[in-house]
Amino acid sequence: MAALEGGLGSRLVHAYRRSEAARGLALLSPTMLIMLAALAAPMVLLALYSFWTQSGYALDTNLTLAQYATSIGRANYRALFYRSLEISAIVTVVTVLLAYPMAYFVAFRAGRSKFVWLILLTIPFWTSYLLRVFAWKLILGYNGVINSGLMSLGLIHQPLEFLLYNPTAVIVTLAHAWAAFAILPIYVSLEKIDRSLLEAAADLGDGPVRRFLRITLPLSLPGVIGAAVLIFVPTTGDYVTPTLVGGSSGVMIANVIEEQFDKVGNWPLGAALAVASMAAVGVATLLFVGAVRAAAGRIR
């Protein structure tokens, strides 16, 4: 700094020092650059790839919609999109519905043990996702925990075959693996509710049920929506769960995308499938959030 000459240089430095925005941007720039380079740029590149074609070992960079035509045109791909969205939607609804009473309990009833409950609920969130999915493979398997347990208790004589390697197994596993993700956003928005609002509602005549429906529920909606989006979007693209417990009937879109990058080597098609699935998820999410907000807006 000392080497800068007077005049323009020192005026620039002076302006920098005085400008809060400039200092703030300077602090943000490393993160911004990394995220642009490692997140934004790759996504743009991926989108570009989806308009190219793989011919043999070479990459044909003429822009074309052929990959999208394949992604949407082929019936089995379309079915896969649909199934992935369906599975994720069911997982989201189940997880959020199950998580809400739990979050409500911690926010309103836990009293002094709130902190303990939160830690207990946070711990599974941080344990290995892979292990959690794997645990369900052990539980639902042909010789797995449920079957061997029920057989040793004499309740069944043949192992149940319907437990594993189907979409239901995927749903159960995903619901369990993502349960922890649902609790925290809902809890945070419930916790933020000013308790005097509930007292005011009671004062104005509402019993506990009406208080919940007219005050607590609408005010916790941002948290519920946040939890839903946090679960819905990543689960549509889940790879581990369908691979371990889905079998051939529980295949999801991520499996097909991975194939393109691994065995098949058709990166453009994989990119197109990825972009198409994100678009589908995006549209579905917007529709869902819009519908929920509209319904909530009618609550008076």
Partner 1 sequence: MKRTTGGAGLLVYAVFYLAFLYVPVLFLPLFSFNDSPFIAFPLSGFTTRWYAQLFADTAVQGALFNSLRVGAAAAIIATALGLPAAKALTRYRVPGGSAVLGLANLSLFIPEIVLGISLLVLLNVVAVSLSLWTVVLGHIVICVPFAITVLMSRMEGFDRNLEEASLDLGEGTWMTFWRVTFPLALPGIVSSLLLCFMVSFDDFLIAYFLAGNETTLPIYIWGQLRFPYKLPAVLALGALILVTSTALVVIAEWIRSRGLEERRHRMVGA
Partner 2 sequence: MSGFLRIERVTKRFGSVVAVDDATLAIQRGEFFSLLGPSGCGKTTLLRMIGGFEFPDAGDIFVEDQRITDTAPNLRPSNMVFQSYAIFPHLDVFDNIAYGLRRERLAKADLEARVRDALAMIKLEGFGQRRADELSGGQRQRVALARALVCRPKVLLLDEPLGALDKRLRESMQIELRQLQRDVGITFVFVTHDQEEALSMSDRIAVMSAGKILQVASPRVLYEQPNCREVADFIGSINLFDAVVEARDGADALVDAGPVGRLRIQADEPVGKRIILALRPEKVTLSVTAGTVKGTIAAAAYLGERSHYNVAIPGRAEPVSVAAQNAERVAERGHAPGDTVYLSWPAGAVLVLPRD
Q: Which residues bind partner 2 (CB under 8 A)?
A: 194, 196-197, 199-207, 210, 214-215, 218-219, 299-300
Give me the torsion for CA of 135, 140, 143, 144, rounded to 10°.
40
Minimum distance of partner 2 from residue 175's CB (angstroms) = 29
Query: Of these partners, partner 2, partner 1, none, which one is at the site of residue 41 (CB under 5 to 8 Å by kind)?
Result: partner 1
Specify the amino acid at residue 159. Answer: P
Specify the amino acid at residue 288. Answer: F
Minimum distance of partner 2 from residue 201's CB (angstroms) = 7
* Site residues (CB under 8 A) for partner 1, limited to 54-93: none
Query: Of these partners, partner 2, partner 1, none, which one is at the site of residue 269 (CB under 5 to 8 Å by kind)?
Result: none
* Site residues (CB under 8 A) for partner 1, limited to 117-146: 117-124, 126-132, 134-139, 141, 143-145
Query: Of these partners, partner 2, partner 1, none, which one is at the site of residue 141 (CB under 5 to 8 Å by kind)?
Result: partner 1
Task: Provide the CA 137 distance to its chain's centre, in angstroms.
Answer: 21
* Site residues (CB under 8 A) for partner 1, limited to 147-166: 147-149, 151-152
Residue positions counted in the chain: 300
Query: Of these partners, partner 1, partner 2, none, which one is at the site of residue 77 (CB under 5 to 8 Å by kind)?
Result: none
Nearer to partner 1, 3 or 209 (CB): 209
Query: Of these partners, partner 1, partner 2, none, which one is at the site of residue 194 (CB under 5 to 8 Å by kind)?
Result: partner 2
The C-alpha angle 273, 88, 244, rounded to 5 degrees, equals 80
Per CB under 8 A, 222 contacts partner 1 = no
Question: Rounded CA gap, 179 and 115, in Å?
Answer: 19
Specify the amino acid at residue 7. Answer: G
Tell me the H-state helices in the chain: 8-18, 20-35, 41-49, 66-73, 75-104, 114-126, 129-140, 145-152, 167-191, 195-203, 208-211, 217-236, 240-241, 253-259, 267-297
